[in-house]
Structure 1
Amino acid sequence: MSGQTNAERGRDVRARLSQAARELISEVGWGGVSTRVLAERAGVRYGLVHYHFESLQALLRQATLEAMSGLLDGTAALLADAATPADGVEAMLLELDQYDGADPASLLFIEGYLAATRDAELRERMGAIMIRFRTTLATALAEAGHPSADEAARLVLAVFDGFILHKGLDPELSGPAIAPLLRTLTSMQSTAPNGAQR
């Protein structure tokens, strides 16, 4: 790192701390992460944790939110590339099928949700990420003529969350098995007064 500027070194340290935080949250749980172990995992001096972040909690929060935002933005991109919202939802579900509920990403999400029940700032910021994702889906559904776009988007997001959670308990749960049900939900169209679909 000798050729780096101070700003570049700072960004590198923050990135290493964030990555270490995500790994440790998945491995030992939110409450099991200590500043000392985190610094050791990141390969930085102990004092740099609090130099770059106001607290260990702030670091864990930021690392989790960055991971969630990145994963959801990547998943939402599948919707933009799809011919219809139903196609996009199915593609998103099949993308989530790679997670088994016990992998690092799944555990990070689960730990984040649990921590958010006790951390108002985490809950608010996590909620904003979810609302952004849900709004994108609801807008696509509404533009396709879905009669209950907001409610359907809420239900789809709840199914996605539950899918990850339950895969850790039910190894036989799979995306292809429930995709037809979600396709039915997201393929609905508004019906005009004369009974014809719009």
Structure 2
Amino acid sequence: MVTAAEQGRETRARLMTAAIELVAEYGWGAVSTRMVAERAEVRPGVVHYHFHSVTDLLIDAAVSAARREYESVMAGVLALPGPEAMRGMLTAIASYTAADPVTVAMTEMMLAATRHERLRIELGRLLAEARAAMANWFRTNGAVTDPEATAAVVAALLDGLILHRLIDPSLGAVDMTGPLLRAAGLTENQASEGKSDGSDGHQR
């Protein structure tokens, strides 16, 4: 039997999913309580039962979506060594296109963060976590003397690539591997370091 708490969490999740879809379709400022309620198939009053305002709903939904994206990408990529991690980053961001609702919603969120203080703070906290994780990776895998600054530059570079590819999809055909490795203080030949027999990288 579904408990009231479980039902509440499920309804809240539906509202946040609806909010992200609508932000991607109509833009942050166009989303209303009624639109969210219709998309989630609930009464408008249910929206305000779970959230103080539609803006609070949008902020919670956007930050939650951004955190899921961050965790799904960073956990896998930063488990890779050397240049492979940077290649993994490029592979991951290649899936962020104008046809992807989450990608479009995230770009809307970045702009909205300049207008909503709570969103700016929460998004800033998430970005700081991402930079810290990347800086720790550089301390272990890189040869840079300034891991925090390098992490900030690489993170900004990747975010910029996503935005530029949304505007100019032809950039997806340009190989960015070399420039990204140089920005990260890495070289192509580091990929072969640590291999035991020069073939597959596994110890025998």
> Runs ≥4 in structure 1, deviation > 6 angstroms?
none
Q: What is the aligned partner in structure 2 of residue 109 from structure 1?
A: 106
Contact persistence 1:96–1:175 (CA under 8 A): no
Q: What is the aligned partner in structure 2 of residue 39 from structure 1?
A: 37
Contact persistence 2:78–2:134 (CA under 8 A): no
1:100 aligns with 2:97: yes
Q: What is the aligned partner in structure 1 of residue 88 from structure 2?
A: 91
Q: Distance in 1 between the 2:157 and 2:173 partners?
A: 11
Q: Distance in 1 between the 2:43 and 2:108 partners?
A: 26
Q: What is the aligned partner in structure 2 of residue 125 from structure 1?
A: 122
Q: Distance in 1 between the 2:4 and 2:148 partners?
A: 46
Contact persistence 1:101–1:164 (CA under 8 A): no
How far apart are residue 71 of structure 1 and its match?
A: 0.3
SS of the residue corresponding to residue 124 of structure 2 reads helix
Q: 2:55 aligns with which of 44, 54, 57?
A: 57
Specify every segment of 5 or more residues in structure 2 that has no aligned partner in the other structure, as ranges: 188-204
> How many residue pairs end up in the alignment?
186
Specify every segment of 5 or more residues in structure 1 that has no aligned partner in the other structure, as ranges: 190-198
Q: Distance in 1 between the 2:96 and 2:60 partners?
A: 22
How far apart are residue 114 of structure 1 and its match?
A: 0.8
Q: TM-score if structure 2 supplies the norm length?
A: 0.86
Give, as a single letter, the amino acid of the residue that structure 2 aligns with 1:128: R
How far apart are residue 59 of structure 1 and its match?
A: 0.5
Q: How many percent identity over aligned positions?
A: 37
Q: Evaluate the alpha carbon distance shift between residue 156 and residue 56 of structure 1 in structure 2; reply closer, same or farther with a 3 A threshold.
A: same
Give, as a single letter, the amino acid of the residue that structure 1 aligns with 2:92: E
Q: What is the aligned partner in structure 2 of residue 165 from structure 1?
A: 163
1:147 aligns with 2:145: yes
How far apart are residue 176 of structure 1 and its match?
A: 6.0
Q: What is the aligned partner in structure 2 of residue 195 from structure 1?
A: none
How far apart are residue 150 of structure 1 and its match?
A: 1.3
